[in-house]
Amino acid sequence: MGALRSCEYSSIIDYRDLQKVAPEVINRDIQLSIEAEFQKASNSGRFTLMEERPDAAHELAELADGLFIYSSTIVRYLVSHRNFAVDIYDKLLESQGSIGPPRLYERLNMLYCTILRNSFGEFDHDVVHMGHIRVVLTWLAIAYHPLSARRLRYAGIPTSVTMDVIDRLLSVLVVGEGITLDSCMKPCHASFPQFLLDETRCQEAAFLVEPSSGHHLIAASLLDFMVYYDLSVPLKEVPYELEEEEGYTEDEDIASKWMLDHGNAFWTDYTTRARCTEQLGQCIRTFT
């Protein structure tokens, strides 16, 4: 906020304390934001939700009940699934419109559950594939920096799985244009990893990331990688300041250097928060 108040355009910025703004004003702003995003989607291709459901923006603003992250997430979800937007909207309205006055984040929790079920429900009986998905979600919920499919390959996750997870979760992730091996993903909002890590909010056991187990998984992966990586191979320096730029690419050497640097910088943080097991103890003894 200090940077905004000192910038050259500070005189035209209108500040609001949302706790003092009337709820109907907030809902109106949310509705205008939803309408603008839907119009943008219509202008860029086939998106018939507004035609088939003219009150959609108003109804979604009512569901958001002042929670901007809910409205932005649901808009991203509908737009990223534009061919099924009407069906998704109808189901969301039916399921979420009937719970009455929501507790804080209750509807957002339901929305995150819906997104995860719709994205990965087809893999319920594929134990191996679901295992890989859970590992990607674990890194997404806990890791300290943006991740790519190429980087996570060094944690034992097939690149095809990571890229597919990114594609299915575009409504809750920030990703550059197009999905490549080097597309760095990070949550759109802190509430998504918080949701994955909180058993009182994430009621889907298949997607819940238990914090100490998640830290254990990442710590063990990094320690194993640092032990067995061939340090005799010359490594390029990683241009970290460029990694979130449009079209950023990195070869295997740079990706492995990134993982090595990440491990060296944070293995103690992950380890001290991890569940204590004989496996982790062995990883630490081998590493040290």
pLDDT of amino acid 181: 87
Residues 62 and 153 in one domain: no
Tell whether 285 and 163 lie within a shared domain: yes
How many CB atoms within 10 Å of residue 197?
17
Query: Do the Cβ atoms of 160 and 128 come closer than 8 Å?
Result: no
Q: Are 136 and 65 part of one and the same domain?
A: no
Q: Is residue 226 part of a domain?
A: yes
Give 10-residue mean pLDDT values along the chain (288 residues). Answer: 59 63 79 91 86 91 85 90 89 69 73 93 93 95 89 90 93 84 88 94 93 96 84 44 46 79 92 94 90
Say how many domains are in the chain: 2
Q: Which residues, including other chains, have CB under 8 Å from residue 284's CB and lie 6 or more apart?
A: 223, 271
Enclosing domain of residue 145: 107-288
Judgement on whether residues 282 and 183 belong to the same structural domain of the protein: yes
Give the H or E element holding residue 34.
helix 23-44
pLDDT of res. 236: 42
Domain presence at residue 222: yes
Whether the full predicted model's pTM is greater than 0.85, yes or no, is no
Cα–Cα distance for residue pair 244/175, rounded to 1 Å: 9
**Amino acid residing at 7:** C
Using CA atoms, how far apart are residues 242 and 3, in angstroms rounded to an integer? Answer: 23
135, part of any domain:
yes
* Residue 115 placed within a domain: yes
Does a structural domain hold residue 35?
yes
Provide the β-strand partners of residue 185. Answer: 147
Per-residue pLDDT, 280: 93
Note whether residue 11 is domain-resident.
no
Q: What integer pLDDT is reported at residue 218 of this predicted model?
A: 96
Same domain, 94 and 111: no
Residue 186 CA to residue 157 CA, distance in Å, equals 17
Task: Indicate whether 7 belongs to any domain.
Answer: no
Q: What is the per-residue pLDDT for 172?
A: 93
**Start-to-end C-alpha separation, the chain:** 44
173 shares a domain with 48: no
CB distance 104 to 70 below 8 Å: no
Would strands 186-187 and 173-174 be described as parallel, antiparallel, or unpaired?
antiparallel
Q: Is residue 10 part of a domain?
A: no
| 3-state SS assignment for residue 173 | strand
Shared domain check, 98 and 224: no
**Domain termination residue (choose one: 80, 102, 124):** 102
Q: How many CB atoms lie within 10 A of CB 212?
A: 12
Q: 13-23: string of b/e by CB count within 10 Å (b at 16+)?
A: eeeeeeeeeee
Bridge partners of 174, per DSSP, are 186
Task: Specify the DSSP class assigned to residue 174.
Answer: E
96 and 118 part of one domain: no
